[in-house]
Amino acid sequence: MIEIKDVFFTYPNGVEALRGVSLSIPDGEFIAIMGQNGAGKTTLVKHFNGLLKPTRGEILVDGVNTQKVSVATLARNVGFVFQNPDHQLFCETVEDEVAFALRNFDFEEKVIKRRVAWALNLLDLEEYRKTSPFMLSGGERKRVALASVLAWDPQVVILDEPTIGQDHKQKERLRQFIVQLTAQQKTVIIVTHDVEFVAECAPHVILMANGKIVAEGSARQMLTNLDLVTQASIAPPQITQIFLGLTDLGLPTDLIDIHAAKEALLDFLEANP
Amino acid sequence: MPIIEAKGLTYTYPAGTKRAIENVSLKIERGEFVILTGPSGCGKTTLCRCLNGLVPHFYSGKLEGDILVAGLNVSKRSVQELARHVGLVFQNPENQLFALFVEKDVAFGLENMGVPRHEIRERVDWALQMTGIEDLRERAPHELSGGQQQRVAIASVLAMQPDVMVLDEPTSFLDPLGAQKIFEVISEVNRKLGITVVLVEHRLDLASRYSNHVVIMHEGRVVLDGEPREVFQSKKARLIGVGIPQATRLHHLLEESGLRLGRVPVTSEEASQIIKEVLRRD
C-alpha cells in the first residue's frame, strides 16, 4: 500500500513540480498516470522509491515513511524502470545487466541464474544473453531495463513510459505480464501517454496537470471525457474519436475498445434495419 | 529519378551475429512522406543510418548492395558530404542538442559547412520561423520542454536545407498533443518545401494521416511497400503485428462480420464518414 499525503515538491531550481497531491494505492492495483509533459507524473513516481523526498507532506510505503529510509532499502520493494533505458543500463552483457541488482541484493548464485533465465524468457531476450545492451535497438534496450527490475521481484513495479519504441506484439506481451503481476497482488504503476495502450489494458487512470491530480477513474470514464482529456494534453483513443463523429446517429460516445465498438455498430444495424 | 534508391542492401554490424538488414530494395520519390515501421529490432534504424552514411562509415562493417541518396552513392561519399543532403532527427532530442542557446544549436551545422555569416543568420531565422520557435531563440535548449527541444532539433536539420529529412521516432517522448504538433511541423516542411520525409514511427494512429507511402520491415527485410490504405488492410501487416490504425482495424472487423464498408479508412474522420454513409444508406 502506498499512501501519498498532501505532497508538495520543489526542484532546487525553484520549479514547483508537485502542488498538493494526495492518493492512496492499494496492493494489487494497476494504475496509469497520464498528463501533459511537465505535469509532474515522473516527479510523483520518483517519490515512491525515495529517489525524491517530499518538500512538504509525506509518503508511506507499506507504512514506512520514505523520508526515513534509504533508496537502497526502498528499492527492494519498489522497482523502477526509467523512461530512457540509457539512464539505467551499463553492464557489458544483457545477462550481467539483469543479474546486477540480484548480486547487489546478495541472492545466491543459483537463484540468480534461475531469475535471470526467467526474466530473459519473459521479455523475449534469450537470444541476446551475451550481447552488449548497447548493440540492441531502443525497444530492446527498454526490455532489458524492464527485465533487470522484474528479476528481483519487487512488490511494486513502476514503469515510466513502458511502451515507447515497442511494437504491437511487445505491447501485447507487456499487457499480459502486467495482468500476471496484478494477479499476484503486485502493484503496477505506469506513467504513459499511450492512450491506445491504456484503452486496451483498462487500468485505473489518474490524470495530472500542473503538479496536481485533476481527476481519477476508470480508463473508459477518463479517456472519453473530452474536457479532461484536453486538460491533460492527451487525445481520446481513435475508437472514441470515430464515435464522436457519429453522435448524430445516436451511437454511444463512451467507447474505447475496438470490440465493443464493433458490437455497438452491429447492434445499431440490427435495431435500425 | 527517385531521391532514394536501394538495391539489394545487406548489412551486418561488426559485432553482430545476424544481418541487421537483408536484401533491401526500395524506391522513394522526391517529395514523398514515407512512414517506415515494423516490429522492434526489424532493421528500421539501421536502414535510416544507411541513408546518411553512418552505416557503413561510422559503424564500419560491410555494406553490400547499392544505395543512392540524392544521386550520391552512400558507400563512396563521406558523412559530411551526405549531411548536406540528408538530415537526421533522433528519438531523444537530448542526444542531439548541446549548445547554450537555441540559436547556436540551429546555426551549428551551417557554421561547420562554412556558410557565410549573413546567410547563416537568414537560414536560422527561417528555420526557427518554420518550426514556430522564434520566441525561444535565446533560451537554453536543456531548459525547454521535450516538445520544444524536438522542434529545435528539427530546426537545426531544416537550416541545412536537406533534400531528405529522416526522423527516428521523433515524438515518442511527447504527449499526444505535443506529438501531433510535431507531425504537423514535419508535414508542413514536406508540403511547403517539398523536402522528402522518412519517418520511423510506431504510433500509426497519429502519423498515418500525413503519409502517402508506408514501408513495413520485418526481420531485416522490406515486406510491405506501398500506399498506406493498401498496406494497412493487407493480411500480412496484421500478422506481423505492427500497430495498424484502429480505424483500419475496425473496418476489418466489421467486414469480417459481413458488413461491407467499401473504402478503407486510415483516420478517425474517414472512419466516421464511411460508417455514417453505410448506416444511413441501410
Whose cell is 531544416? That residue is B158
Specify the higher pLDDT residue, B174 or B159. B159
Q: Is the pLDDT of residue B280 over 70?
A: yes
For residue A6, what pLDDT is reported? 97
Rounded distance between C-alpha atoms, residue B74 and residue B67, angstroms: 6
B112, with CB counted inside 10 A (0-12, 13-18, 19+), is exposed
Coil, strand, or helix at residue A184?
coil
Average pLDDT for chain B: 90
Let me know: does A25 contact A189? Beta carbons within 8 Å: yes
How many Å lie between the alpha carbon of A239 and the closest alpha carbon of chain B? 6
What is the length of chain B?
282
Q: What is the ipTM of this complex?
A: 0.80
Rounded distance between C-alpha atoms, residue A254 and residue A241, angstroms: 10
Inter-chain residue contact A249 with B176, CB threshold 8 Å: no
What residue type is assigned to position B206 of the chain? L
Let me know: does A33 contact B175? Beta carbons within 8 Å: no
Segment B190-244, tens digit of pLDDT:
999 899 999 999 888 889 999 999 999 999 999 999 999 999 989 898 888 788 8
Nearest to B274 by CA among B242, B244, B240, B250: B250
Contacts of A70 (CB under 8 A, 6+ apart): A50
- Widest Cα–Cα separation across chain A: 68
Coil, strand, or helix at residue B276?
helix
Q: Tell me if chain A has a CB within 8 Å of the CB of B257.
A: yes
Q: In A, which residues are within 8 Å of B173 by CB distance?
A: 37, 83, 161, 164
Segment B69-93, tens digit of pLDDT:
999 999 999 998 998 899 999 877 8
Contacts of A160 (CB under 8 A, 6+ apart): A42, A45, A80, A81, A82, A83, A190, A191
- Strand ranges in chain A using DSSP code E only, listed in sequence order: 2-10, 16-25, 30-35, 56-61, 64-65, 78-81, 156-160, 187-191, 204-209, 212-218
Enumerate the H helices of A8-158 as residue ranges.
41-46, 71-75, 94-104, 109-122, 138-150
Q: How confident is the model at residue A234 (pLDDT cuts 50, 70, 90)?
A: confident
Q: Tell me if chain A has a CB within 8 Å of the CB of B134.
A: no
Q: Is the pLDDT of residue B282 over 60?
A: no
A45, with CB counted inside 10 A (0-12, 13-18, 19+), is buried
Q: In B, which residues are within 8 Å of A269 by CB distance?
A: 259, 279, 282
Let me know: does B190 contact B35? Beta carbons within 8 Å: no
Let me know: does A165 contact A189? Beta carbons within 8 Å: no
Please tell me what DSSP assigns to residue B266.
-
For residue B212, what pLDDT is reported? 95
Q: How confident is the model at residue B67 (pLDDT cuts 50, 70, 90)?
A: very high
Rounded distance between C-alpha atoms, residue A22 and residue A60, angstroms: 11
Segment A132-143, tens digit of pLDDT:
888 888 778 888
Q: Tell me if chain A has a CB within 8 Å of the CB of B149.
A: no
What residue type is assigned to position B212 of the chain? N
Let me know: does B3 contact B28? Beta carbons within 8 Å: yes
Q: CB pairs under 8 A, 24+ apart, for B29-32?
A: B29/B2, B29/B3, B29/B196, B30/B2, B30/B3, B30/B163, B30/B194, B30/B196, B31/B190, B31/B194, B31/B195, B31/B196, B32/B3, B32/B196, B32/B197, B32/B212, B32/B213
Between residues 49 and 88 of chain A, which touch chain B (CB distance below 8 Å)?
83-84
Please tell me what DSSP assigns to residue B208.
G
How many Å lie between the alpha carbon of B8 and the closest alpha carbon of chain A? 22
Average pLDDT for chain A: 91
- Widest Cα–Cα separation across chain B: 66
What's the CATH class of domain A2-219? alpha beta
For residue A235, what pLDDT is reported? 87
Nearest to A144 by CA among A107, A116, A179, A181: A116
Let me know: does A239 contact B246? Beta carbons within 8 Å: yes
Q: How confident is the model at residue B253 (pLDDT cuts 50, 70, 90)?
A: very high
Contacts of B220 (CB under 8 A, 6+ apart): B18, B19, B20, B21, B22, B24, B42, B43
For residue B281, what pLDDT is reported? 64
Segment B91-103, tens digit of pLDDT:
778 777 878 899 9
Q: How confident is the model at residue B176 (pLDDT cuts 50, 70, 90)?
A: confident
Segment A113-154, tens digit of pLDDT:
999 999 999 888 999 999 988 888 877 888 899 999 999 889
Rounded distance between C-alpha atoms, residue B279 and residue A268, angstroms: 9
Q: In B, which residues are within 8 Å of A195 by CB distance?
A: 176
- Interface test with chain A among B37, B257, B268, B276, by most A beta carbons within 10 Å: B268
Please tell me what DSSP assigns to residue A195.
H
Segment A155-212, tens digit of pLDDT:
999 999 898 878 888 888 889 889 988 998 999 999 998 999 999 999 999 999 999 9
Which of A12-16, B252-256, B268-272 has the least mean pLDDT? A12-16
Q: In A, which residues are within 8 Å of B55 by CB distance?
A: none
Nearest to A46 by CA among A61, A26, A35, A63: A61
Q: In A, which residues are within 8 Å of B269 by CB distance?
A: 241, 245
Specify the higher pLDDT residue, A174 or B11. B11
For B275, the closest of A140, A241, A246 (CB atoms) is: A246
Inter-chain residue contact B176 with A195, CB threshold 8 Å: yes
Segment A34-60, tens digit of pLDDT:
998 888 999 999 999 999 999 999 999
Q: The whole model's pTM is what?
A: 0.85
For residue A241, what is its C-alpha cell?
Answer: 474519436
Q: Would you report the helix, strand and coil content of chain A in percent, each value rounded to 5?
A: 45, 20, 35
Rounded distance between C-alpha atoms, residue A220 and residue A233, angstroms: 17
Mean pLDDT for B11-35 is 93
Q: Is the pLDDT of residue A21 over 90?
A: yes
